[in-house]
Structure 1
Amino acid sequence: MSAMMARMMGTSPGISSSPSIASSPPPSSQSSSLPVRTIPGSYGWPLLGPISDRLDYFWFQGPETFFKKRIEKNKSTVFRTNVPPTFPLFLGVNPNVVAVLDVKSFTHLFDMEIVEKANVLVGDFMPSTKFTGDLRVCAYLDTSESKHTQLKNFTIDTLKRSSSIWVPTMVSKLDTMWETIESDISKSGSAAALLPLQQFLFSFLTKCITGADTSTSQEISKSGFTMLDSWIALQVLPTVKVGLFQPLEEIFLHSFAYPFWLVKGGYNKLVEFVEKQGTEAIQRGETQFNLTAKETVHNLLFILGFNAFGGFSIFFNSLLSSLADDKNDGIQEKLRNEVREKIGTDSSKLSFEVVKEMELVQSFVYETLRINPPVPLQYARARKDFKLASHDSLYEIKKGELLCGYQPLVMRDSKVFDNPENFEPGRFTQEKGKELLNYLYWSNGPQTGSPNEANKQCPAKDYVPVTASLFLANMFQRYDSVTISSGSITAVKKAS
């Protein structure tokens, strides 16, 4: 299952690391003079149109080319199309969407006055609630639902409370990870990065989010992360391109929803582990946020598994790929120099505050989030009729229509980002770079926004980039350079 997760990654959720600058302009800003245009594109014939689009999306073109070709065909970044999953065994799912693929139109996905987010985390398709204890967890709730307020505030409070142990726990678990990698290189000449990376993330995040120590259970310590991999994979398989041989992928992965019973055993073991070891978090959910123990446990596991572990697994893999990219030649030396100038090689000096002073390290993290956002697709459903603005036109959206944004293209909008196709490590440095954070939307909102109960922005919006910065800083305290090739680490040069 880890190998499958790796293929899925290859196709690409209290601490503030963002500067205090103006928030992103509202979608309606300077839109009144734009011409009103009929939304181009078509859903095609019933059944045949969605199936044709699905085959293009997964098989003949791939997600990025799928959206690019339709932009070219419709001469518009806003158009009608279909996205998976579709017929034959998704009879209750409507694949019709309005694609919004420039920065200006994309911002409408985060305006909670005009859109709602109930059950659209991965589009019109929603995995069975059996995967989450027969509950709709926070990610599937709209901001208008009272339970969303309780759960969002509980999540924000959980992260805030974890801040005191976040850095020392991370450094301790990273020591184990790098020792494993060094040992594998010594024995075999290379070390696959994904396995030790996920083991590190699982033990680190489980401790910080649930308060549970994985070392108290031999089975959870050894296999807990693969249980999460399997649990995540079965929920999202109908919506993602994995990269297996076609048409087998279409027949076996994209034609039906996988049942929960395939991962029930592993998930129930994780539930039992959190119930036993995460008692403080559960009691806090009950006494301070009026949640039931069941609601607390299953939401904690979703935050841990889907948002944190799943998101970081993809994102850290992208970070390593960015470090290995030949186009970024010399970046390791520049990052290392900045880290060493600030804190030398003493890992005890690592902190949230010190990495905020590392402008290039932070910019490298933000640029990775721009080019390879961990969650490529964002969805929202129109709460009411409204006019949607792109850079050059207005479009009439009807209540109930589903909007879909593909972030890897949105984040390459040439009207916002210079040389948008290039990975520029220093893009988010200096004043111009800080201003661009208004348009970095990886977190279901702008990097300059603030997660709260009234929006759907990721509660860990600030924790993710600062944790990635800590990861890089720790790496370049420990090593002068790291050689990475095809997902494996083949050499490390220890700090001189």
Structure 2
Amino acid sequence: MFVRSMAAASPPPPPSTSLSSQPPSSSPSQLPLRAMPGTYGWPVVGPLSDRLDYFWFQGPEKFFRTRVEKYKSTVFRTNIPPAFPFFGNVNPNIVAVLDVKSFSHLFDMDLVDKRDVLIGDFRPSLGFYGGVRVGVYLDTTEPKHAKIKKFSMELLKRSSEVWLRELLSNLDKFWSTIETDVSKNDAASYIFPLQSCVFNFLTASLAGVKTSVSPEIAENGWKILNTWLAFQVIPTTKIGIPQPFEELLLHTWPYPPLIVAGGYKKLYNFINDHAGEVIRLGEEEFGLTRDETIHNILFVLGFNAYGGFSVFLPSLIGKIAGDNTGLQERLRTEVRKVCGSGSGSGLNFRTVNEMELVKSVVYETLRLNPPVPLQFARAREDFKISSHDAVFEVKKGELLCGYQPLVMRDGKIYEDPEEFKPDRFIGQTGSELLSYLFWSNGPQTGTPSESNKQCAAKDVVTLTACLIIADLFLRYDSVTGDMSSIKTVVKAK
């Protein structure tokens, strides 16, 4: 089946790459025990000051970098938004873990609890999911977690027969739109056509139903998901509109699900009316109610898959389209050597797995631009957490937070960590680095299961991205553009 074949195709893990393994550095017993630096400040004043730094004066990356420099430590206490002073009981206190060694503790399920911490101490109203607490908010110790995780993995297995076909079919439409727009306007904004492409192919692959059966969903389904996603994450996300408007209008309160209820109901009815086979799978084989099945399908489809690809793919396409170092020529040569010439010729999961440079470019893009920048977990008990340089005591119930754009630039793991190196993950040394690539809520060498919180589609995502690159260079000799638009395409001779 699909997931098994993906696991077989993945590079073998280097020695000792279990979830609990640590990067090559001093062992915890050799490191000094240090009092954890940092402070939460005075009530109200401390969280407000940190919130203004995070959203307004510094931005997320500078917020964490300046505190690493101030405390001379990659582990410290601070506050992180949101902190709604008049709505709910959101606690902004966190323990920041900003190097690979300390960050890896977030995946040790014996040490941490993942209950309701997808985006920190703030959880959007369950009304966004029809009142159902979907699998991503469940800890591994909760009985329903195993059922929903197994169901998600089974959806991926069942999609193996149509995934490639649906992806290539929708890429045909996507590139046709781009070519038309480039010829008319000398440039094509590709974000919305790409989102439509991704939505259509994911719906057919995961839910087993083509959006063409509902013209309204085919035209507007991806737009509904954009709105649904936005109102869940806006309170915790720096958008970039002028201050103080962003702070006052977007970060002051959680948004009610009523805003998106109408659109979400249309998606629910679409799955309910047309995805009978996968609904029966959830009910009969995994013991979920119909409501639980549909809402979890929508979350996996909308938040995990569509949302993740919508963030990641523009970074990938933009990096390739904007390159002037000869990377495109190298990618084109590798793709055509493996597949031959012509769009789709010889392209499949086996052949794309032979493309070492293509895979390395995907991994390097995920390292520098992880789709989910923040990862959270709560301490199950008191324990000692290790950075490269020291050991710190963490108390039961404390919320750990890792900012991946910094973690994945750990200079003690990655050479020239700020640079994009397309060859970084090639060869034996590159394969070993995969055990420190954490974009999927676990190492790239890890295996998703019902006993952990690693993304069920970890291998599917990377191979799909590789297929998109390979398809591009079977169609075109070159493309130019950036993270939002394509300016030229030169068809393959």
TM-score, normalisation: structure 2: 0.96
- Which residue of 11, 34, 37 maps to 1:19? 11
Q: Which moved more, 1:238-247 or 1:344-353?
A: 344-353
- Which residue of 368, 379, 400 maps to 1:403? 400
Q: Which residue of 1 is the match for residue 326 of structure 2?
A: 330
SS at match of 1:362: helix
- Note if contact 1:381-1:403 (Cα within 8 Å) is conserved in structure 2: yes
Structure 2 residue 80 is the aligned partner of structure 1 residue 83: yes
Root-mean-square deviation over aligned CA pairs: 1.1
- Which residue of 247, 250, 253 maps to 2:250? 253
- Note if contact 1:271-1:298 (Cα within 8 Å) is conserved in structure 2: yes
Structure 2 residue 433 is the aligned partner of structure 1 residue 436: yes
SS at match of 2:487: strand
* 1:25–1:256 distance in 2 versus 1, CA, 3 Å: closer
SS at match of 2:162: helix
SS at match of 2:29: coil
- Note if contact 2:314-2:483 (Cα within 8 Å) is conserved in structure 1: no
Q: Which residue of 1 is the match for residue 264 of structure 2?
A: 267
CA distance in 2: counterparts of 1:24 and 1:293, whole angstroms: 36
- Note if contact 1:173-1:204 (Cα within 8 Å) is conserved in structure 2: yes
Q: Kindly state the Cα deviation for residue 24 of structure 1 after the two structures are TM-superposed.
A: 4.4
Q: Which residue of 2 is the match for residue 350 of structure 1?
A: 347
Q: Deviations over 1:382-441 (max 9, x none)?
A: 001100000010000110000000000000001000000000000000100000000000
Q: Deviations over 1:100-127 (max 9, x none)?
A: 0000000000000010100000000000
- Which residue of 165, 170, 175 maps to 2:167? 170
Correspondence 1:274-353 to 2 at 5 A? 274-326=271-323, 329-346=325-342, 347-353=344-350
Correspondence 1:81-160 to 2 at 5 A? 81-160=78-157
Q: Kindly state the Cα deviation for residue 325 of structure 1 after the two structures are TM-superposed.
A: 3.8
Letter in 1 for 2:139: D
SS at match of 2:489: strand
CA distance in 2: counterparts of 1:345 and 1:167, whole angstroms: 18
Q: Which residue of 2 is the match for residue 9 of structure 1?
A: none
Q: Deviations over 1:206-235 (max 9, x none)?
A: 111111210111110000000000000000
Q: Kindly state the Cα deviation for residue 330 of structure 1 after the two structures are TM-superposed.
A: 1.0
Q: Kindly state the Cα deviation for residue 345 of structure 1 after the two structures are TM-superposed.
A: 2.7
Structure 2: gaps of 5 or more residues: none
Q: Kindly state the Cα deviation for residue 90 of structure 1 after the two structures are TM-superposed.
A: 3.9
Q: Which residue of 2 is the match for residue 6 of structure 1?
A: none
CA distance in 2: counterparts of 1:138 and 1:43, whole angstroms: 31
- Provide the identity percentage: 57
Q: Kindly state the Cα deviation for residue 27 of structure 1 after the two structures are TM-superposed.
A: 5.4
**Which segments of structure 1 move beyond 4 Å, counting only runs of 4 or more?**
none
Q: Which moved more, 1:25-34 or 1:396-405?
A: 25-34
CA distance in 2: counterparts of 1:413 and 1:486, whole angstroms: 25
TM-score, normalisation: structure 1: 0.96
CA distance in 2: counterparts of 1:26 and 1:298, whole angstroms: 32
- Note if contact 2:282-2:288 (Cα within 8 Å) is conserved in structure 1: yes
SS at match of 2:378: strand
